[in-house]
Structure 1
Amino acid sequence: MRFTPLLATTFLTVSSVSANFNIASLNINTLVGNDLGPDNKYGAPIAPWLPNHKPGWYIGHSPTHYPELPCLRGFICRVLAFFPFHLQCPTPLPPPPPPPTPPPSDGYHQTFSNLTGATQAADYLTFGLVDTVADCKAMCNGVTGCDFVNTYHDVNGKGGSTQLTCSLFSQCHDASDADNVGGQTQADGTVDFITNSDGFCKDS
């Protein structure tokens, strides 16, 4: 940041004077060495795409690299605060939040979710009932050749069970193969239908 004896002396004087001192009597251009008013485009009257342009100010941690420019950090900011119609130091932005940490992978990625149809395909391996999706994935991990699981609720089916149906397949499938929508009449006369159908393929 550029400090001159006049700037330091003037600020100390401003800080210690009596309440009836008229701050407007000071010349801000003399204090900072540049005209930082709006009529002078805040120190940069020539636009950067025109010849002979020069920057009007600097913000950074290396003010000695630009001794001809007012560095808008620290001490000079307290001086500029007395001149509200001139350039002011920027208020620092809060640091950006850290990026969200992705949840750890369980070895599967989801290929579809919450459909009203279950997967039916020739590479079917087996099926059963489970309490959770994690149970179904664990079952797939123990079945040779299993690469895909489809969990769903078979409403009115499977003897009225409220558990998830867990179907295992040897190949990955997407929503286009989830075309089993139920429709089978049960012993009690009800017709089954599919809800909450999710598909998960092994990452490998």
Structure 2
Amino acid sequence: MRFQVAVLAAVAVASTGATPLNFVGWTLQQATGFDLSNTNHYGSPIPPWKSGHQPGWYYGSSPEKFPGIPCLSGIICEILEFFPYAIQCPKPKPPPPHTTSVKTITKTATKTTTVTTTATTTDTVTATPTPSAIDGYTPTFTNISAAVQADDFQTFGLVDTIPECLAMCDTVSGCIFVNTYNDVNGKGGSTQLTCSLFTLCHDASDADNFGGQSQPNGSLDFIANSDGWCKSTPTA
């Protein structure tokens, strides 16, 4: 994390218990070293389908892999709370309610009867199961080789899992749709999922970003494992 020297000093003092964190009078840029405001698409002003794009943030369990972008964990989450117009860290979900297991023993009397039956075989077709909803989000397309590009783009970053991307949407005002995918050869070679947020729901007909952008090493990127997820109500 590219915290400026003054920020590191403030954090060091606060960690001793001498004073709480206080960033009154600071700008977001001064406090974090990044422009993570809503007017700057939360750190990603260039959408991922345009040349020169960079992820605005990372949310996951391996922040050490991404020293060049803000990682939404630890002390930066406390700092961002001073700036309500900035991207925020998802809040941890409450633990599931405690349940008590009760062992029940049932005795059953069994009567055996011999019955002669005639077996009949029928050809059947097994339908592919439809992906189920996750955390209130319904899939609109799954596992395609293209990503959504649309004018209602809000921001994009990197995550480890789909639920982490959904959690990010739940923190961004107006977000109602996420597109997760692997940008193979892109994003500096990262194997993490790209997580793009939008204010409108989209289906596969809006997924017309197939990659094909030249990378610094001479390779071309391409899109894989692209999923779309829509929820019924946008984030407040």
Q: What's the TM-score, normalizing by structure 1?
A: 0.49
- Which is greater in Rg? 1
Q: Give the structure with the higher percent helix.
A: 1
Q: What's the TM-score, normalizing by structure 2?
A: 0.43
